[in-house]
Structure formats: C-alpha cells, structure tokens
Structure 1
Amino acid sequence: MPLHGHVLRIISFCQIAIGVLGNSLELFLYNLPKSPRHKQRPIDAILAQLALANAVLLLSKGIPEAILYFRTVNFLGNYGCKLVFYIQRVSRGTSIYTTCLLSAFQAIIISPNSHRLATLKAKTPKYVRLTCGMGWMLTLLIEVYVPMYITGPRNDSSSHIRGVDLLYCYWENVLSEIAILPTLRDILFVGCMVSASSYMVFLLCRHHQRTQQIHSSRLCPRSSPEIKATHTILLLVGTFCSTYFLSCGFLLYKVYTVDSSIWVVNVSTFITLCFPAISPFFLIHNEVNESSCVPSWRHSSLC
C-alpha cells in the first residue's frame, strides 16, 4: 500500500475512534436521569437515537477497515459482507431519518402558537419514542433487499455488471431498481430536513429581532439561546448535506470510472463518516453552553 493509503487509513481510524467516543458520551448524556427540576425532555430520545445510529455506523465501518488494514485476505466472506453492509445501511438510514425527525420536531415546538398547532404541540412529545421506533422498522424494511447485491471482494474487473469495490466487499449492480428506493427515501428526508431547518432558522431570526433589546439587557454575557440553536441547526444540516452530496458524488465517480484508484473509496468513506463523527460534539457543545446560562427560552432551544 502506498504512503498516502496508510495516511488515509490512520486518519479514518482517528475519525472513527473520536466519533465513537463522542456518540457514546452523547448517548450517556441524554439517557442520564435528570434532577427533579430538569426532567428528561422528549427531544432527548431523538438525540439518543441519533447517537446510537451514528455509533453503530462508525463501528460497522471501522471494524472491517481495521481488520483489513492488518489482514489482506478476505475475512468476511459473502454472508459476512451481507451482514456488515446491511448494518451499515440500516444505521446510515436511521441517522438520516433521525436528523430529519430532529429538525421537524424542533420546528413544531418553536412555531408560533395558534389554534391549529396547539393540539399538535401537545401530542407531539407523546409520540416521540414511537416515531423513533418506527424509524428503525422503516429502515430495516427498505434496506432488506440491498444485501442481495453484496458479495465478497472480486479480483477481476472485467465483469459487465457495474458495481463498487468496497475493499472488503463488492457491491454489484449498484444502480439497480432495488437501490432506487433507499435513494428516494434519502432525498425525501433530506428535503424535509432542509425545509424544516430553514423554517426554524427563519423563526429564530425573527424572534431575535423582536426581542433584541430584552436580550441586550441580560446579565449573562453570552449570545441568546436563539442564536445558539440557529448555529447548531446550521452546522448539523450544513455538515450533513455537504457530506451526503459529496459522498454521492464520489460513489457515482467510482461507479462510472473503471480505472479509479483505491483512494476514491477511502476518501468517500472518510466523507461519509464526517457527520456521525462530528455531530455529537455540536450537540454536546450546545448543551454545555445552555447549562452555563439558563435562559427563559429554555424549552424552545435545540437541546
């Protein structure tokens, strides 16, 4: 393996280790019993599920990569590849679903009070856990046919079936009709996520403009909770969308470029894992800032 290949692998291992640590800390933080004054919020269940899905994605990607780094032979086999890849796809789909759910939930919570939204706001927290469970079931069903096209690694590149070499496995017929359904799901959730987040940013900015004088007289010298939540939303959505479209671009490049080198797969994997590795630190940072200065707008902030 050339020097740049070793460098990419080491960077990926550091990324996975830091991401697993951050998501484990986030999972512990949002499952930690709160004091009687600070009860567990409904949004904590969404954040805990996001941390769990991201941690599973990082581990299912990182463990085969680490084993492959020290062993060059096929260690998974056909059935092992199908299982590992299925876990990766399910955790990735659940991460997309949960990020969309997080944006939609917060958009409903901070929406202006009206007769139409009053009932929805009252019922939404009751169905948070049910909605989280439905996300796992939906992803399990959508991805159930994808492992049919996963096999062990292939040495011959003369196959007429267009696919992607995943280093330790091979994804054949990657642009088949079966793979279109997960793609449509991703596009739908990304569209809903961007729409909900844009609406939420608009509401937060408008609220900040109306209450700018009130916030300027606060004893706490930090920025207002609205601005903190806005920054967190922009970071999460911006990071997810940029990494999602970049990874899709590298995937299409790998599919349509016959002689593409192995660095394309390594870079694509790194980009794919950027969001699950970075997102917990955005949320933890926002949570720490919120606890350092308790605002009156606490229940409508992101975390």
Structure 2
Amino acid sequence: MMDSDGTLGMIFLSQTVLGVLGNLSLLYYYLFLYFSQSSLRPTDCVLMHLIAANVLTLLCKGVPQTMAGFGWKDFLNDCECKGVFYLHKVGRIMSFSSISFLSVFQAITISPNDSKWAPLKCKAPKYVVACVNLSWILNLFINTVFLTNIRSKQGNKSMTMLKDFGYCSSVNIGEMDAVLHMVYLSFPDVICMWLMLWASGSIVLILHRHKRSMQHMFRSKVSPQFSPHTRATQTILLLMSTFICFYLLSSVCQVCLAIIYNPSWFLVNMSLFIAGCFPTVSPFLLLCRNYQVKTFCFTCVRNRKAP
C-alpha cells in the first residue's frame, strides 16, 4: 500500500512540477516582452490568462494530491478544502474560457475583409481582453455554489453520506440533485464548447479557402503574406484539439464521480490526473510552436555561456 501511495505521490509531484515550470517559463517570456516593448498582442494577453489558470489548476489539485499520495491524511480543514476545490474549478473553467476566446479572436482576425466579421477586426483586440476579465468575475461568482458540498475529513469521519476524494470529501446530495448541480456548473462549459467548435470550424474553412487562393502565388514564386497568421492559427487549432481531447476524458470521469455513490480510488486519481494533463502539456505546445520563444530561449542560453 505504501508503494502504491508513493508511486501516486511521485506521479502527481512530477506532473505538478513539470506543468508549473513550463507555465512559468512561458510567463517569463511574455513578461519580458511586456517590459521590454511596453506592449503585448491581444493573443499574448489571453495566453497570460491561460497560464494563470493553468498554474491555479495545477497548484490547487497537484499539491494536496501529492501530499495525500505520500501518506498525509486529513491535513485540510473545511475552509481549506472548500478553497482548494473552488479555486481548482475556477482555474479549470478559465482555461476553457481563455481558449474559447482565443479561438474566436483568431477566427475574426483571419477572416477575409469582405466577410461579415470584418467590422469586428478593429474592435476584437479590445473586446477579447475585456471578455476574459469578465469571465474571471462570472466564474468566481458561479462556482460559489460548488462550496456547499465540500467537507474536510477531519471532523466528518462518522458521516456515511460522503464521497471520499482522498484529502477532502463531498456530501452525497442524491442523483437528481447531483444532475441539476452538474447541469448548472456545466452551463459555462457548454457555451465555451459551442464557441470553440464554431471558431474551429470557421478557422478550418478560412484556411482551406486561403490555401486554394495562394496556390497561384506559390506557382508564381511569390511568398505568402499571411504565413505568420497561418502559423499562429495552426497553433491555436492544435491547442484547441488537445484541450478537447483531455476535456472529454475529464468530463467522462466527472460524470462518473457525480453519479457513482462510492467511486473507486482508481477513478478518483484518474480523474485528477487527466484534469492536470492539459495545464501541463499546453505550455510546451506553445513553446515548441512559437518561433520567437525558441529564438528568445536560444539567445538567453547563448548569453549565459558568453564570458
């Protein structure tokens, strides 16, 4: 039992450390751009919100889950359990919201000048940052209902109507109430998923039309004018597809946890691990796809080696 607990602790510790370091490295790059150039692109601002949400998600579940994996039991009280679950939920939804707004902004940005979205091109940079800020406020308010069911395991060991999540527990409110509770909390996810699917479909259609129109220019040996936009769009599509894969897996686990009266310890840990996969992987996807970031990292390494 100790070996399995130690293995779980090492898995969650590795995931948390790797994810936090990756996100902080990307954040350092954007902060360097901000203080050196005194400005950031709207996409960079949204990505900074995504980084903050990723770090919040990893710390609020990775750290206590690591401690529980290494044998620490009942180390959080009621307020701390509520805070950890609440902030993790906010961070998870903000990751979803940030990617949704980022995809919508990119779809508007690369839309043709004769499309119906053309008038929004000039206003989109201001709106996308305001929407992300408003999303933080709404998610902080909406997820307060999530606090009512979370309990600490310190003084509730005698209660039988609790679902064990390792270091904290949740009150079993019944199947009907659980379904209504899940529908209420999933409403922002549904809106963000609809925006993401619409934006991804629009982006793929625009890129397909753009590729067909640029074929003649390639034959004429004329370099494409929108290759940076195309590369950025492909990066956002890769980010969206990665998020959707992990989100669907996480949603299946969340539904099972909400419906099953006494979920197994394997299902609980699997749900927590999958929930931390995207915050861990996403900064490395951005680091690998961003040519400017790789150039910046190479320059930093070269300057360190210089006498």
TM-score by length of 2: 0.82
Q: Counterpart of 1:144 in 2: which secondary structure?
A: helix
- After TM superposition, the structure 1 = structure 2 runs for residues 227-246 of structure 1, keeping only pairs within 5 Å, are 228-246=231-249
Q: Which residue of 2 aligns with 1:59?
A: 59
Q: State the partner residue of 1:125.
A: 125
Quote the offset at 1:218 in angstroms. Answer: 7.0
Question: Counterparts of 1:164 and 1:179 in 2: how far apart (Å)?
Answer: 16
SS at match of 1:23: helix
- Asked if structure 1 preserves the Cα contact closer than 8 Å seen for 2:150 and 2:170, the reply is yes
Residues 59-88 of structure 1: per-residue CA shift (max 9 Å, x gap): 111121122234433111111101111111
Deviates more, 1:38-47 or 1:56-65: 38-47
Residue number in structure 1 paired with 2:167:
168
Query: In structure 1, what is the equivalent of residue 24 of structure 2?
Result: 24
Partners of 2:184 and 2:289 lie apart in 1 by 35
Q: Give, as a single letter, the amino acid of the residue that structure 1 aligns with 2:50.
A: L
> Within 1, Cα distance between the matches of 2:282 and 2:81?
27
Structure with a larger share of its residues in helix? 2
Aligned residue type for 1:188? I
Contact 1:30 1:48 in 2 (8 A): yes
Alpha-carbon distance change, 289 to 4 in structure 1, aligned in 2, over 3 angstroms: farther
Instruction: Identify if the C-alpha distance between structure 1 residues 37 and 208 changes in structure 2 by more than 3 Å, giving closer, same or farther.
Output: farther
What SS class does the counterpart of residue 69 from structure 2 fall into? helix
> Where does residue 266 of structure 1 map in the other structure?
269
Q: What count of residue pairs does the alignment treat as equivalent?
A: 287
State the distance in 2 between where 1:213 and 1:90 align. 48
1:170 aligns to what SS in structure 2? Answer: strand
* Offset, 1:265: 1.1
Q: Distance in 2 between matches of 1:231 and 1:137?
A: 30
Q: Which residue of 2 aligns with 1:90?
A: 90
Hey, what's the Cα distance between the residues in 2 that align with 1:275 and 1:196?
A: 20
Q: Which runs of 5+ in 2 are unaligned?
A: 296-307
Per the alignment, residue 6 of structure 2 pairs with: 6
Residue pair 1:104, 1:196 contacting (<8 A) in 2 also: yes
With over 3 angstroms needed to count, the CA separation of the structure-2 counterparts of 1:95 and 1:26, relative to structure 1, is same
Q: What is the Cα deviation at residue 23 of structure 1? A: 1.0
Aligned to 2:298: none
Query: Could you tell me whether the CA contact under 8 Å between 1:201 and 1:230 is conserved in 2?
Result: no
| Cα distance between partner residues in 1 of 2:56 and 2:148 | 21
